[in-house]
Structures are given as structure tokens and as C-alpha cells.
Amino acid sequence: MLDRMKSALAAAAAVLALAGPAGAQTTLNVATAGDQNMVDYIKDYLGPMFEKSHPGVKVVAVGTGPGDGGSQKIYEKLSAQRQANAPAWDFDVVVAHQKMAGQMVKEGLLAKYRDKIPTGNLVSRDTAENSLGAEVGGYVMPMFHSQTALAYNADMVKTPPATYTDLVDWVKKNPKQFGYNGIKGGMSGVAFVTGWVYAFGGDADKLMKGPYDETLKAAWDKSLADLKEFNKNVVITPGNAGTLDMLNRGEIAMGPVWVDMFYTWQAEGKLPPNMKLKLVAPGMPGQPMYYAVPAKAAQAKLAEEFIALATSPEVQAEGIVKRFNWYPGIDAKYLQAKLDQAAWQKLFADITPDDLSTKGKPFPIAPYFNDILESYEKKVAN
């Protein structure tokens, strides 16, 4: 594993070494974790747009791989350059996941830049301030938010549950019509279970922000016993896609899904238009990716201008919402005037910007997250 990571970093360094073609005065190096679509988004969409408004600047996008592993590589690169006492670091902008963003802030690898850019005051969600227990306020701008919610067949469910408590009552009256994938079949099931603990376990705010108290999990016993009872009347699906498949076939009427996957499937005709979404109270988790500026970025000022462009309402509307069906990193209310009515209705008809602000929750800090998964295995799944 270490060899592969070193090879990936060497490859990224080689790309950067080749950057700065003849005629370009300045190179802005953007390193992004995530899948290839993240790299393509920088290379094909944001980069050309930024270069057009900044003559003489060339944007170079480097992918470090999907998942937390990709963010780990960014962290290792910055950490190594600091240890080497490099006067300027290779990356000017980084796009990272929550876990490593928090780690990089703790270790002083990122610059505090958000107050310097004009879009810095357009963010409203907690994830802009706290990342799985790490204080990141000022150091990050959310690029987008993925969000889980309940998908339901509006022909079969005329009045969807508004809260987790309503859902419990609905499942009692409609056994085997609700499905989710537990905690081993995908993150939508994990998100549903986490939302359950937020709803019934007590002190959800502490789970999301810390500090960690190992004894707190004992207070979850009643809620987990109730979840085990709840599971007797639900269907355990094979995964995120499996939940959508079963909804599509009418085998279940409701289940938790990732919103962007829901809308992508619907746009591709894999889900009929009578499928709707509901974000129930007190809320369900989602997760952002962050734009950040390394503490010794060679082009820090340009990096700030790049992130300001990338988090502008215009780009968030066209690039994030319309291209990917993701929710924006900034408060969605700033996008309404930038989207045509059809695009706005598509993404926000079922889940409003206010729903996102009040019921779009982060995942818990890492030790509570591990406790929830462990407790589910011991007290619900056995």
C-alpha cells in the first residue's frame, strides 16, 4: 500500500513538474481527491473559466484518487514538504474529504482564507465550521454536499412521514414496505442508522461536535432495542442501488437513498416521476468535500480567487447542481435566481433550502461513528 501511495505521489509530482507550458506566465496547481469526474470538473470546466478571466494563468488539475485515500495522499504531500522545509508547496488549491481536512487544519497545513473571499459569507451549514469534530471554520469552503433522504413512491405513500417518530408509526401500519441496506450495504443505510441515533439516542449535537465521551453510548441502548424491533417490519436491501431498484419495482414504498443518485437515476429513466424525496426531522446525515489552500501555497492569492469563482452562485448553480445533481456548498437560497425554474424545481421541490439548513446533518465525529457501527452490530444486527 505504501509503495502504491508513493508511486501515486511521484506521478502527481511528475505531472506538476511538467506543468507550466511555454507561454503561460503562472501555473495554478489544483489537487483533488475523489473520482475522475472531480478531476474532469476542474480540467474541463473550472480551469478554462478561470484562465479566461486570468490571462497568463494555467490551471493544472491533479487527481490523487477516490475516497479518504485520495485525501490522505494530499495530506502526506503537504506534510512531507513542510518537513523538508520547502519554501513553497506544490499544491495551490486542494479538494479534500472531511476527515483529512480536519487533520490538516489541526496540523497547520492549511491557510485560513475564507474571510478573504467574497463568497465566504454565503455558507450556512455546520460542516463549514466543524468537520467530524475538528474545527475548520475559516479554513475550508464546501464544494458541494451529498445528502441522504427518504425516497418514496407517491402513489403508495400519500402522506410521507415528517419525522423519525412518524416513520416508526408508518412502518407499523405498513410492514415490509420500508427498506434500507443496514450498515454493510452502503452509506445510505449507515446514514439512516446514524439519523436514528440522532433522533432517539439523545444529545445528537455532542455526537456531531464532540468532545468524545465513551460512556455516552450506554444511553443508546433503548433506541437500539427499538431499532431492532423496527427492523422486524422492514426489508434489508442489498445496497444503495438495491433500495432504488426495489422502489422502482414496487417491492417497497420507501427507503433512504443518496439524493444525487436518486436524481441521476430519475434523469436516466431508471425511476418513474412519481418517486419523491423527504428529509425527515430531526435530520439525516450528508457529507461535503472542501476547497482549501495549503499554508505555503505558491499562488495563494490566485488560489483564493479560484475558490471564490468555484463557490460563486453562478458556478454552484451550473457546475454543481445542473451537472452533478449535488447540493451546493453555499446556502442554496443564493442559487435560486441563477437556476431556471425547471432546474430549481428538480432539485429543491421536495427538499427545500430551509430543509437542508435545518435537517441536513453531518456524520458524527469518528469515535462516536465507530461506536454507532459497533453498537448496531452487537445490539441490532445479531
Phi/psi at 352 (5° precision): -80, 165
Is residue 211 within 8 A of residue 225, CB to CB? The reply is no
Q: Residue 302 and residue 309: Cα distance in Å, rounded?
A: 11
Confidence of residue 68 (pLDDT cuts 50, 70, 90): confident
Q: Residue 177 and residue 152: Cα distance in Å, rounded?
A: 10
Share of the chain above pLDDT 70, in %: 93
Please give the grid coordinates belonging to residue 213.
465521551
Written in H, E and C, the secondary structure of 138-194 is CCCEEEEEEEEEEEEECCCCCCCCCEHHHHHHHHHHCCCCEEECCCCCCHHHHHHHH
Share of the chain above pLDDT 90, in %: 68
Q: Residue 104 and residue 133: Cα distance in Å, rounded?
A: 13
Q: Residue 339 and residue 63: Cα distance in Å, rounded?
A: 29
Confidence of residue 325 (pLDDT cuts 50, 70, 90): confident
**What pLDDT sits at residue 341?**
85
Helix axes 366-379, 187-200, angle to 10 degrees: 90
Is residue 164 within 8 A of residue 282, CB to CB? The reply is yes
Whether the pLDDT of residue 22 is over 60: the answer is no
Phi/psi at 57 (5° precision): -110, 135
- Count the neighbouring beta carbons within 10 Å of the beta carbon of residue 162: 12
Which pTM was predicted? 0.74
CA distance to 47, 74, 161, 177, 322, per residue, from 234 (Å)? 47, 41, 15, 7, 34
pLDDT digits (tens, 9 = 90+) for 211-245: 999 999 999 999 999 999 999 999 999 888 899 99
Confidence of residue 8 (pLDDT cuts 50, 70, 90): very low
**What pLDDT sits at residue 142?**
96
CA distance to 28, 90, 93, 138, per residue, from 298 (Å)? 9, 7, 10, 19
**What pLDDT sits at residue 10?**
52
Whose grid coordinates read 441490532?
A: 380
**What pLDDT sits at residue 138?**
97
What mean pLDDT do residues 133-154 have? Answer: 94
Identify the weakest region by mean pLDDT among 28-32, 152-156, 203-207, 221-225.
203-207
**What pLDDT sits at residue 99?**
83
Q: Partners of 293 in the beta sheet?
A: none
What is the Cβ-side half-sphere exposure of residue 367, based on CA atoms within 13 angstroms? 12
For residues 98 and 197, which has the higher predicted lDDT (pLDDT)?
197
Is residue 255 within 8 A of residue 143, CB to CB? The reply is no
What mean pLDDT do residues 57-86 have? Answer: 92
Phi/psi at 272 (5° precision): -75, 160
Beta strands in the chain (DSSP E): 26-33, 57-65, 93-96, 130-131, 134-135, 141-153, 179-180, 235-236, 254-258, 275-278, 284-292, 327-328, 360-361
What 64-70 contacts at long range (C-beta under 8 Å, 24+ apart), as own/partner pairs, is 64/8, 64/9, 64/12, 64/31, 64/32, 64/33, 65/8, 65/33, 66/33, 66/34, 66/35, 67/33, 67/97, 68/33, 68/97, 68/99, 68/100, 69/5, 69/33, 70/32, 70/33, 70/34, 70/97
Phi/psi at 165 (5° precision): -65, -45
Tell me the residue type at 200.
F
What mean pLDDT do residues 290-319 have? Answer: 97
- Count the neighbouring beta carbons within 10 Å of the beta carbon of residue 358: 14
Whether the pLDDT of residue 44 is over 60: the answer is yes
Is residue 123 within 8 A of residue 258, CB to CB? The reply is no
**What pLDDT sits at residue 18?**
43
**What pLDDT sits at residue 36?**
82
